[in-house]
Amino acid sequence: MARIMIVDDSTVMRMNLKKILTDVGHTIVAEAQNGKEACAQYEKYRPDLVTMDISMPVMTGVEATKAIVSKFPDAVIVMISALNQKKMVYDALKNGAKHYIIKPIDQEKVISVLNEVLRTDVST
């Protein structure tokens, strides 16, 4: 299973994602509350996949994605977004994110997207 980093400024969202992901066998290697922390944690842990909230204080998910992908082109990042953030999702995808999930999240949706991204990443 994958080694995953969860990035979200909401403690509740991080806890929900952690439960969903660990229940199916993934390992959470790091968590971050903002994009700046995410960049530092990515460099330290080099996770197989990152779930990245799009809207956070200090540094947005789009900015963090761009920074991580510029240094680590093989980074696999999935954006977590609210419905009204389509332009930010597009910007994130343009800057290296592999996929996105629209809130509210549910286990089936999260697992489906992560399996698709991990399967695609392994085959490339």
Model confidence, pTM = 0.92
pLDDT of residue 121: 61
- Residue ranges per structural domain of the chain: 3-114
pLDDT per position as a tens digit, 30-48: 999 999 999 999 999 999 9
CATH class of domain segment(s) 3-114: alpha beta
Candidates 25, 77, 20, 86; CA nearest to 51 is: 77
The model's confidence at residue 119, banded by pLDDT at 50, 70 and 90, is: confident
Q: Provide the Cα torsion 106, 109, 114, 120; round to 10°.
A: 180
How does pLDDT run across 7-33, given as a tens digit for each residue? 999 999 999 999 999 999 999 999 999
Tokens 């080099």, residue?
46
